[in-house]
């Protein structure tokens, strides 16, 4: 059942990641006495001390348990989105979304890529049929739109399942998760102290051009240092994957900020301490996952 657990590459990677998080926790503990700005970083790093072993544990399990874990996370993320947007009481839309998420996961398991790519259209059809079945039109355009946005976010995220099915897919998955999480966290940290050029100030004033550039450069170095996780260690392979994590690692959060600001939503859940609600942990992978999948597909065809 535990296919990866006793591979040296797997537990060495876990030891490095958990050790780095522990060191950051110690640093934040020392620095929080000097500035309250480090309190959220300390809370987040403490949460990751617990979360990182859970992620690695499920990645070590035999297929399809990692996919099942990903589907459960996806359903919980969809639930969080419905709660956040005030739609959780619209059970027809909620259950239609849940059912299609499970079906999309089944498509990944059975290699039905054609049906998987059709699931957004299926979601559109079901969402449009619900007002007809309920014989109601009030607020239905908003419900349909938010349901589609929710499902498309999750559908994009589930491309991580396709990545895990590739050769050494679990290690590629970990590579993408670690790089994206590192980039976005560092991006926000640097932007907090350097805000001269704001990229989308009306949407999210907490992100700056300087933060993007500096975090991107450091993430490239980390991508090079972690290339041992990849099945191919060439500059083209790790370089394209690293650039994908950098270019799209913050896009999901920025797009979700559009939804939050337009609907007047404030973050109230704190599933991961110090860093927003549960969906905030998933949004950074919404665009990274599909683009990374097709980059990997291109690299396989190129080889």
Q: Is the pLDDT of residue 50 over 70?
A: yes
Q: Indicate if 42 and 73 belong to the same structural domain.
A: no
The tally of domains found in the chain comes to 3
pLDDT at 163: 97
* R_g of the chain, CA atoms, integer Å: 20
What pLDDT is attached to residue 66?
94
Whether residue 75 contacts residue 300, with contact meaning beta carbons closer than 8 Å, is answered with no
Tell me which of 107, 130, 165 is where a domain ends. 165
Do 77 and 13 have their domain in common?
no
* One domain for residues 149 and 214: no
**What pLDDT, on the 0 to 100 scale, is given for residue 147?**
97
Residues 173 and 266 in one domain: yes
Q: Kindly tell me the burial class for residue 209, based on how many C-beta atoms sit within 10 Å of its own C-beta (0-12, 13-18, 19 or more).
A: middle
Confidence of residue 31 (pLDDT cuts 50, 70, 90): confident
Which two three-digit tokens encode residue 237?
Answer: 């392979």
User: Does one domain contain both 105 and 133?
Assistant: yes
Q: Do 301 and 174 lie in a common domain? A: yes
Structure tokens that stand for 164 in this block: 């895990």
Question: How high is the pLDDT of residue 271?
Answer: 47
Tokens of 8: 């040296």
Mean pLDDT, residues 214-220: 95
Of the candidates 47, 62, 77, which is a domain's last residue?
62
Q: What is the pLDDT of residues 80-91, one digit of tens each?
A: 999 989 898 889
If pLDDT is split at 50, 70 and 90, which confidence band does 16 have?
confident
Last residue within a domain, chosen from 62, 78, 108: 62
pLDDT score recorded for residue 29:
80
Distance, in Å, from the CA atom of 300 to the CA atom of 165, rounded to the nearest integer, reads: 13
Average pLDDT over residues 42-60: 83
Judged against a pLDDT cut of 50, whether residue 273 lies above it is answered with no
Tens-digit pLDDT profile for residues 135-148: 999 999 999 999 99
How many percent of the chain have pLDDT more than 90? 54
51 and 76 co-located in one domain: no
Question: By the 8 A CB rule, do 160 and 289 touch?
Answer: yes
Q: Is 69 found in the same domain as 23?
A: no
| Distance from C-alpha of 116 to C-alpha of 165, rounded to nearest angstrom | 15
- Which stretch of 25-34, 126-135, 224-233, 237-246 has the lowest confidence by average pLDDT? 25-34
Comparing CA positions, the residue from 155, 142, 150 lying closest to residue 94 is 150
Q: In the chain, pLDDT over 70 holds for what percent of residues?
A: 90
Residues 67 and 145 in one domain: yes
The mean pLDDT value for 223-245 works out to 94
**pLDDT at 267 (0 to 100):** 59
Q: Is 162 exposed, middle or buried (0-12, 13-18, 19+ CB in 10 A)?
A: buried
Mean pLDDT score, 267-296: 76
Are 58 and 99 in a shared domain?
Answer: no
Confidence of residue 24 (pLDDT cuts 50, 70, 90): confident
Whether 3 has a pLDDT exceeding 80, the answer reads: no
Domain span including residue 18: 1-62
CA dihedral 53, 50, 164, 116 (to 10 degrees): 150
- Average per-residue pLDDT in the chain? 88
Same structural domain, 55 and 78: no
Is the confidence at residue 39, as pLDDT, over 80?
no
pLDDT at 27 over 90: no
215 and 186 Cβ atoms separated by less than 8 Å = yes
Residues 196 and 280 in one domain: yes
For residues 78 and 83, give the distance between their C-alpha atoms in angstroms, rounded to a whole number: 9
Q: Which range among 6-15, 131-140, 176-185, 243-252 shows the weakest confidence by mean pLDDT?
A: 6-15
Predicted confidence (pLDDT) per residue in 150-201, tens digit? 999 999 999 999 999 998 999 999 999 999 988 988 888 888 887 788 888 8
């Amino acid at each position: 059942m535990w296919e990866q657990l006793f591979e040296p590459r797997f537990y060495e990677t876990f030891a490095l990641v958990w050790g780095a998080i522990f060191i950051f926790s110690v640093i934040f503990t020392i620095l929080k006495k000097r500035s309250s700005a480090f309190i959220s970083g300390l809370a987040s790093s403490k949460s990751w001390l617990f979360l990182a072993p859970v992620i690695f544990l499920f990645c070590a399990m035999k297929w399809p348990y990692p996919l099942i874990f990903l589907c459960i996370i996806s359903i919980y993320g969809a639930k969080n989105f419905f709660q956040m947007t005030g739609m959780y009481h619209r059970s027809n839309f909620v259950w239609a979304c849940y059912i299609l998420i499970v079906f999309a996961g089944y498509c990944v398991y059975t290699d039905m890529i054609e049906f998987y790519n059709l699931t957004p259209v299926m979601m559109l059809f079901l969402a449009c049929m619900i007002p007809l079945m309920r014989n109601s039109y009030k607020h239905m355009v908003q419900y349909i739109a938010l349901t589609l946005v929710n499902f498309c976010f999750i559908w994009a995220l589930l491309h991580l399942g396709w990545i895990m099915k590739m050769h050494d897919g679990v290690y590629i998955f970990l590579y993408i998760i670690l790089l994206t999480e590192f980039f976005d966290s560092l991006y926000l940290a640097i932007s907090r102290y350097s805000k001269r050029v704001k990229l989308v100030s009306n949407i999210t004033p907490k992100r700056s051009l300087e933060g993007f550039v500096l975090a991107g450069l450091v993430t490239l170095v980390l991508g090079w240092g972690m290339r041992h996780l990849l099945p191919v260690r060439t500059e083209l392979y790790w370089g394209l994957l690293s650039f994908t994590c950098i270019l799209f690692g913050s896009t999901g959060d920025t797009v979700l900020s559009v939804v939050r600001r337009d609907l007047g939503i404030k973050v109230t859940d704190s599933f991961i301490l110090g860093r927003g609600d549960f969906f905030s942990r998933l949004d950074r992978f919404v665009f990274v996952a599909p683009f990374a999948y097709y980059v990997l597909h291109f690299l396989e065809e190129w080889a």
